[in-house]
Amino acid sequence: MKNPENKKYLKAGITGVAVVAVSLLCFFLLFRLPAITGWIKTVFAILSPFFIGAVIAYILAPFCNRLEALFARLFRGKGKKVIPFLSILLALLLSLALVFALIFMILPQVWQSIVGIVNAIPSQLASANAKLHEFLQDSPELQDEWDALYKSISEKFNTWLSDLELVPMVGELVTSLGSRLLAFLNFIKNFLIGILVSAYFLASRKKFAAQSRILLSGILPKRAADLIEEEVRYADRMFNGFLMGKLLDSAIIGLLCFIATTLMGFRSAVLISVIVGLTNIIPFFGPFIGAVPCALLLLLENPMHCLYFLIFIVILQQLDGNVIGPKILGNTTGLSSFWVLFSILLFGGLWGVLGMIVGVPLFAVIYDVLRRLIFFGLRRHGREDLIEAYGKSFLSATAEKKERLPLWKHLRKKGK
């Protein structure tokens, strides 16, 4: 007969050894943190084409599904082996054509805007100085002080330009441009490899999904595997719906901005529209981030155009926030405005612009996991009364309004 005391001491000993082992591991990781961080960065740099390919494949997967369904109807069930290849090839070609079209539309506008700004700055400064000189003509003393100040600033600026050591600056500039050019070429290489990797991901997406499900079922109990699979599906709906809806919303906003700026006679209509459309992908802060550089650009060209643009952008963002955005996205994330702002600030501070874009759906997934854990704990402790009393405050708006589908879900449903 086994002695219960021995079993008790055995458990205590195993617990003590585990605690010591974990403490030593944490101590080792703490003092080796720079080396481990460098190793992780190296691995990420090596595998960056696979990450790029995975992102491209994730974005294009719904489009490929719709193309497969379209080709299946056209071929009437024939060519089952050719349909996936055609859908992947067409999705990649169309997406690349769209990217290159945007680039070739933007680059001439960017060059013209830079040249216009460089040419306009001296004349704008001289014009502003002349207007201010004329405005102060009733106060000769202030006028003389301003003229002396402007002359002093101009002389100091010219002296600073003449005293610059151009040779070291040119050397530093060449070195900086060389390193940036190498980084750009490395990104182009990774992007091209990523396109190839995305084709493999898209071709094997159903196989990978089946393998992941088998892996979960083989490692975890059925209930845990089902819960994880359900949460992964929720995360997929959240990210895919939010990002696809935001892209469609931003494309509409950019098109409306292009039409309006063209009608108002702005010279940089394409550049302004692309900036407004791209920054509109960022929730909450996007309109302000896009409006500031466009307003400064127009201010150098024509101050009245800048005023017209600011009035127009306020109207456009009100239209987007109250009509276009809700129609396309609905309340996809189900988060309140407070948590939306919190997630943008948190993940934007951690990961920059990328964090501001993915922060809202990522926080929505974290919020859903915490909600499930809280409900599980309340049921475990027999507090179902609290779930009935306060449970609705944790539910997302999409869970409360299942009958209302945003536009992107209708489009996705039709594509299946």
Per-residue pLDDT tens digits of the chain, which is 416 residues long: 455 666 666 777 777 777 788 887 777 777 777 777 788 888 888 888 899 999 899 888 888 988 888 888 888 767 777 888 899 999 999 989 988 887 887 777 767 766 766 676 677 667 777 777 677 777 777 777 777 777 777 777 667 656 555 445 555 666 666 777 888 888 888 899 999 999 999 998 888 888 888 888 888 888 888 888 888 888 888 888 888 888 888 888 989 998 999 898 887 788 888 889 888 888 777 888 888 888 888 887 778 888 999 999 989 888 887 788 777 766 666 677 788 888 888 888 888 878 888 888 888 888 888 888 888 888 877 777 776 666 665 554 444 444 334 443 444 444 44
222-263 and 269-279 helices cross at what angle (nearest 10)? 160
d(CA 32, CA 35): 5
Domain that holds residue 257: 221-408
Count of domains forming the chain: 1
Check: CB of residue 333 under 8 Å from CB of residue 239.
no
Between the CA of residue 411 and those of 142, 212, 232, 248, 280, what are the distances in Å?
65, 27, 21, 11, 21
Smallest CA-to-CA distance from 383 within 371, 395, 391 is with 391
pLDDT given at position 199? 92
For Cα atoms 253, 233, 338, give the angle at the middle one, nearest 5 degrees. 50
Q: Are 284 and 340 in contact (CB under 8 A)?
A: yes
pLDDT, position 330: 60
Q: In 3D, which of 264, 257, 260 has the Cα closest to residue 290? A: 257
SS3 annotation, the chain: CCCHHHHHHHHHHHHHHHHHHHHHHHHHHHHCHHHHHHHHHHHHHHCHHHHHHHHHHHHHHHHHHHHHHHHHHHHCCCCCCHHHHHHHHHHHHHHHHHHHHHHHHHHHHHHHHHHHHHHHHHHHHHHHHHHHHHHHHHCHHHHHHHHHHHHHHHHHHHHHHHHCCHHHHHHHHHHHHHHHHHHHHHHHHHHHHHHHHHHHHHHCHHHHHHHHHHHHHHHCCHHHHHHHHHHHHHHHHHHHHHHHHHHHHHHHHHHHHHHHHHHCCCCCHHHHHHHHHHHCCCCCCHHHHHHHHHHHHHHHHCHHHHHHHHHHHHHHHHHHHHHHHHHHHCCCCCCCHHHHHHHHHHHHHHHCHHHHHHHHHHHHHHHHHHHHHHHHHHHHCCCHHHHHHHHHHCCCHHHHCCCCCCHHHHHHHHHC
pLDDT score, position 196: 92
The predicted pLDDT at position 412 comes to 44
Q: What is the CA radius of gyration of the chain?
A: 29
Residue 302: what are its φ and ψ, rounded to 5°? -160, 115
pLDDT value for 90: 92
Distance of CA 92 to the CA centre of its chain: 21
pLDDT at 409: 46
Residue 122 lies in a domain: no
Question: Is 324 among the domain residues?
Answer: yes
In this structure, is residue 279 part of a structural domain? yes
Residue 140 domain-assigned (yes or no): no
Answer yes or no: is 213 within a domain. no
- Kindly state whether residue 369 falls inside one of the protein's structural domains: yes
Max alpha carbon distance in the chain (Å)? 110
pTM tops 0.85: no
- 42 assigned to some structural domain: no
pLDDT of residue 173: 60
pLDDT (0 to 100) of residue 6: 63
- Is residue 26 domain-resident? no
CA nearest 272: which of 296, 249, 252? 296
pLDDT value of position 234: 87
Say what the pLDDT of residue 198 is.
92
